[in-house]
């Protein structure tokens, strides 16, 4: 288990050493669990948010530090030791294979189709982004090469590729390695490492990478490097901006050099924060939108970009790996609320963002060309409009049965889908499509094949 204040009182019963630390640093937690048995099932962090006077921040922070140190130093049991040894052996044996017989020279995008790197291997840069520097494009994202939905591996580090034309990509390897020394570490292969984003900080000269840690942690890990291609090292683990638990996010640097983080938080909304000068923390909340929504209508898959004087925010709904409709919103400032202008996917009969989820809108430098970069997480389980509508009603009915109904057969169909929890994502494909504008609204139209030069 992850040692720290995301543990519950019930979790602590499994480890006498951790339990003793809580009794030492935060005796009020045991008192609360005895008085209200339901409290034994909630995390210490959550209990503090409900009763801050009962759980002073100084005591909670001291407990968090003590529990994390305890987690690092406690002896591993036999099963954990075997797991670490297995992963270390995998890392030692890991090498880049070349398959010249499979290599393809691309001259266009083919959304949703298999995309190979220059070695003939599947590109592994999921939920990622493209960065332009010194005449070259760098595409980075989650490395899912070992994620088959059966083993517990979620992400094996962050991988990067280089291109000069946006079509053909050379594998540069891992720019952030998995942490194989600490089962509690946020970069351990079984942790839910998602959606990396990199900014270059002019004030420090550093490249700053934020990654989201999903599941119970719901926090950020922040890394830095001296150059874009890494290696990146951890600066901060378990970061909660102004105390907020976090989900999907994006970051952007404005023309004046100020940087912003937009993230879906708990309670569900999309909050905007100003980043500190070194881009390694936030200083204040600047805006909030999409408040008080429930699944599947609350937002995730946060993506930011600007066009002219307008700022844009694209988000997806909340249905896990099952794709759903996107929503675009516009504002005239990164510090003002965004207003929805609807789904940007034009003539999308699938009601599922063309069976994909956007992670970045990339502007080709020097051109008025925008590319919506998305993942098709489950290419073997494509939705049509009827299925997407049924899934939306099934999920919504759990929160608002008065307005959304679903049949037992539709409930069973959703439960049987393979993309509800862990699934095989190492063969997920990519959907790159042109994004254009009509009357200030972004539009994404399907193309089986297209070239970005045709839109320049």
pLDDT at 114 over 60: yes
pLDDT tens digit sequence for 252-306: 999 999 999 999 998 799 999 999 999 999 999 999 999 999 999 999 999 999 9
Q: Residue 440 burial by CB count (10 A; 0-12/13-18/19+): exposed, middle or buried?
A: exposed
Element (H, E) at 300: strand 300-307
Q: What beta strand segments (E) does 226-299 contain?
A: 233-239, 245-253, 259-266, 269-275, 282-289
Comparing 314 with 38, the larger pLDDT belongs to: 314
* Structure confidence at residue 422 (pLDDT): 67
Sorting pLDDT into bands at 50, 70 and 90, what band is 416?
confident
User: Does position 211 have pLDDT exceeding 60, yes or no?
Assistant: yes
DSSP code string of 103-160: ----SSB-TTS--B-TTS-B---EEEEEEEETTEEEEEEE--TT-BSSSS-----EEE
pLDDT at 9 over 60: yes
Mean pLDDT within 27-43: 87
Quick one: pLDDT at residue 45?
A: 85
- pLDDT recorded at residue 343: 98
Task: Report the chain's mean pLDDT, rounded to a whole number.
Answer: 94
Cα-based distances in Å from 73 to 14, 24, 184:
17, 18, 11
What is the DSSP code (8-state) at residue 455?
Answer: G
Name the CATH superfamily for 81-381+419-455: Glycosyl hydrolase domain; family 43 (2.115.10.20)
Q: Find the mean pLDDT for residues 387-397.
A: 95
Nearest-angstrom CA–CA distance, 331 and 340: 9
Residue with token string 């509508």? 389
Cα–Cα separations (whole angstroms), residue 275 to 5, 85, 242, 392: 25, 39, 11, 35
Residue 417 has what pLDDT? 80
Average pLDDT score over residue span 135-143: 98
Distance of CA 218 to the CA centre of its chain: 10
For 408, the token pair is: 């037992």
The domain spans of the chain are 9-74, 81-381+419-455
Average the pLDDT over each of 80-84, 198-202, 415-419 and give the range with the smallest value.
Answer: 415-419
**Whole-structure pTM value:** 0.92
What pLDDT does residue 212 have?
97
pLDDT band for position 421 (cuts 50, 70, 90) = low
Q: Residues 47-57: pLDDT tens digits? A: 887 788 899 98
């Amino acid at each position: 288990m992850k040692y720290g204040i995301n543990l519950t009182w019930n979790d602590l019963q499994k480890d006498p050493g951790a339990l003793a630390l809580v009794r030492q640093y935060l005796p009020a937690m045991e008192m609360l669990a005895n008085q209200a048995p339901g409290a034994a099932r909630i995390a210490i962090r959550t209990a503090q948010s409900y009763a801050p006077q009962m759980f002073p921040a100084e005591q909670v922070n001291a407990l968090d530090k003590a529990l994390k140190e305890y987690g690092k130093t406690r002896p591993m049991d036999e099963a954990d030791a075997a797991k670490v040894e297995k992963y270390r052996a995998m890392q030692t044996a890991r090498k880049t294979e070349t398959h010249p017989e499979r290599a393809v020279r691309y001259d266009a995008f083919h959304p949703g189709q298999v995309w190979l790197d220059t070695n003939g291997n599947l590109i592994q840069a999921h939920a990622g982004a493209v960065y332009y520097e010194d005449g070259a494009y760098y595409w980075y994202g989650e490395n899912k090469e070992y994620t088959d939905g059966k083993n517990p591996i979620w992400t094996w580090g962050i991988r990067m590729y280089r291109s000069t034309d946006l079509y053909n990509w050379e594998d540069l390897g891992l720019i952030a390695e998995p942490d194989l020394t600490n089962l509690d570490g946020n970069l351990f292969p079984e942790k839910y490492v998602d959606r990396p984003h990199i900014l270059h900080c002019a004030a420090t000269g550093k490249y700053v990478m934020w990654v989201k840690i999903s599941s119970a942690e719901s926090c950020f890990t922040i890394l830095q490097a001296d150059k874009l291609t890494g290696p990146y090292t951890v600066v901060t683990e378990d970061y909660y901006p102004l105390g907020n638990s976090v989900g999907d996010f994006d970051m952007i640097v404005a023309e004046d050099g100020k940087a912003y983080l937009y993230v879906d938080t708990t309670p569900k909304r999309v909050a905007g924060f100003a980043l500190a000068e070194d881009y390694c923390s936030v200083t204040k909340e600047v805006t909030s939108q999409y408040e008080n929504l429930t699944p599947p209508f609350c937002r995730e898959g946060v993506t930011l970009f600007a066009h002219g004087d307008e700022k844009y925010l694209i988000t997806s709904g909340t249905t896990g790996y099952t794709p759903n409709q996107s929503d675009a919103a516009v504002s005239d400032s990164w510090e003002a609320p965004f207003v929805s202008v609807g789904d940007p996917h034009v003539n999308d009969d699938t009601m599922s963002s063309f069976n994909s989820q956007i992670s970045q809108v990339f502007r080709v430098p020097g051109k008025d060309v925008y590319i919506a970069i998305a993942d098709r997480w489950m290419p073997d389980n494509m939705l049509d409009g009827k299925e997407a509508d049924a899934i939306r009603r099934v999920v919504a009915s759990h929160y608002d049965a008065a307005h959304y109904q679903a049949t037992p057969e539709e409930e069973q169909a959703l439960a049987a889908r393979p993309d509800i929890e862990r699934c095989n994502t190492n063969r997920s494909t990519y959907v790159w499509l042109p994004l254009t504008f009509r009357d200030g609204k972004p539009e994404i139209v399907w193309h089986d094949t297209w070239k970005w030069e045709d839109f320049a």
